[in-house]
Amino acid sequence: MGSPAKVLNGDTKERILAAAEKLFAEEGFARTSLRGITVEAGVNVAAVHYHFGSKEALLEALFARRAAPMNAERLAKLNDLEAASSGDVPPLEALIEAFIAPSFRMLEELDPAGPPASQLIARFFSEPEEIVQRLMREQFSDVGARYLATFTRALPDVGPREVAWRFEFMVAVLTHLLAGMHLIDVVPGATPGPADQPETIRHAVQFLAAGFRAPSKGAA
Amino acid sequence: MGSPAKVLNGDTKERILAAAEKLFAEEGFARTSLRGITVEAGVNVAAVHYHFGSKEALLEALFARRAAPMNAERLAKLNDLEAASSGDVPPLEALIEAFIAPSFRMLEELDPAGPPASQLIARFFSEPEEIVQRLMREQFSDVGARYLATFTRALPDVGPREVAWRFEFMVAVLTHLLAGMHLIDVVPGATPGPADQPETIRHAVQFLAAGFRAPSKGAA
DNA sequence: GTCTATAACGGGATAGAC
DNA sequence: GTCTATCCCGTTATAGAC
């Protein structure tokens, strides 16, 4: 009998992260108080400062914990694809799916129950630019660069600058879906979803592949 | 000489709206204080409550002021297109451009100087879902329904449900660009922009049109 | 219709005991 | 490593003079 009823669980740090993830998703970063997090986690206010140092540092830890394995998976898939197509360029559809699928997997393990987790991503993008930009660069610049290079090789008729635009459009579609914005049902009764992940991915891949392959007409 | 140095300008209400727009864009809604707004506007704290009632009501007024004329322009363009193609369906590219261009025009008149205004849109989407959903529906459901119907007519080989997905993807690209996320430069040196508006629109229309026209293969 | 002054509250952070 | 207690600050909102 060490500390019987005081702490129900072991890792304080982990419990803080889990509670923060939940509340940031539900309420947003600015509206979530450290007090609320520590109540949810069943720990003390001071514990956050002890383990992380500040509220902002907590957000960073949270972000890195999810983004790192997700991007590792992205790179692994890309390596597999390049190995499989020995020397040649992987097929476009496979590239797109390799890029977007890990995000959906991450979302699922973030909250198997359903959609509130998707809010977490939407919330993130509205933090002060400085933080978002720094964290995004830290976690995504390597994967982004490698994929962009491969897309450019896969689309020799399009031109690097145009490919960069279209890569950006792919990111747009991905973040939109991850943030769950397609579930808002702006036009009543006309929402495409909710659909399961494989179907969502299939729709997106079809659309994006056609967009990437669009004939690249210059101005006039 | 009524009140010579006290108030430099006339409309207090208008000055509050302008100041709020600026600060919400720069700092986000939650991080912006009414104090900050009233200092920026050169008015008193109580004036906000007098003219709007609460901080949230101020956000609503702000949103409606921009969204309403923008969507009026969307509808006008759609009417023009349908009139021009007397009885037949307007060309897809023209439809897409009619849908996305008014947003860019709004962005420009919001802040002719440059990009900080785009943050305003990004910020908006991360407010509590309830508010965002209500405001979006209020302002966008009519335009959305009419455009979606026309897109469906323009793409008889695609199928209504698939068109709804692709319409959603178009909205994704649009919001991404409006929010200025393509300027973040995640992959160093590989950003497509900054480009002028006509060029941005041209790239988007090319990409989206091809996506909309993608052959619609069902599962398996 | 606009101001001053203040109420009533909750936030992040820290010091220091244990 | 974890707690209690507290500091200090900024917030929204309102009451009441002008």
B144 touches strand D (CB under 7 A): no
CA gap B158, B173 in Å, rounded: 20
Residue A116: is the preceding peptide bond cis (ω within 30°)? no
Q: What string of H, E and C letters represents the secondary structure of B27-58?
A: HCCCCCCHHHHHHHHCCCHHHHHHHCCCHHHH
Q: Any idea what DSSP says for residue A88? A: S
Interface contact B188-A126, CB threshold 8 A = no
Question: What CA dihedral angle connects B157, B162, B164 and B170, to 10 degrees?
Answer: -90
Check if A149 contacts B (Cβ < 8 Å). Answer: no
Interface contact A141-B182, CB threshold 8 A = no
CA of A19 to C1' of D8 (A): 27
The total of other beta-carbon atoms located within 10 Å of residue B191's CB is: 17
Sign of the dihedral through C-alpha B16, B17, B21, B22: negative
Whole-number pLDDT of residue A124: 86
Tell me the fold of A59-212: Tetracycline Repressor; domain 2 (1.10.357)
If you count residue pairs, one on A and one on B, with CB atoms under 8 Å apart, how many are there? 168
CATH 1.10.357.10 fits B65-213, yes or no: yes
Domain ranges of chain A: 1-53, 59-212
pLDDT at B145 > cutoff 50? yes
The total of other beta-carbon atoms located within 10 Å of residue B84's CB is: 11
Per-residue pLDDT reduced to its tens digit, A168-187: 999 999 999 998 888 888 99
Residue that the structure tokens 């957000």 belong to: A59
Residue B190 to residues A13, A126, A142, A152, B220, Cα–Cα distance (Å): 37, 23, 12, 12, 36
pLDDT at B123 > cutoff 50? yes
Classified as helix, coil or strand, B186 is coil
Among A186, A200, A213, pick the best mutation site for testing chain B contact (most B Cβ within 10 A).
Answer: A186
φ, ψ of residue A137 to 5 degrees: the values are -60, -45
Check if A84 contacts B (Cβ < 8 Å). Answer: no
Residue that the structure tokens 């707004």 belong to: B37
**Which nucleotide does the CA of A6 lie closest to, via C1'?**
D2
The chain B residue lying nearest A199, using CA atoms, is B219
Out of B166, B173, B219, closest to residue A172 by CB: B173
Residue A12 banded pLDDT, cuts 50, 70, 90: very high
pLDDT at A30 > cutoff 70? yes
Instruction: Identify the CATH number of the domain defined by range B1-53.
Output: 1.10.10.60
State mean pLDDT over A132-145.
Answer: 94
Per-residue pLDDT reduced to its tens digit, B17-73: 999 998 888 888 888 899 999 998 989 999 999 999 988 889 889 999 999 999 999
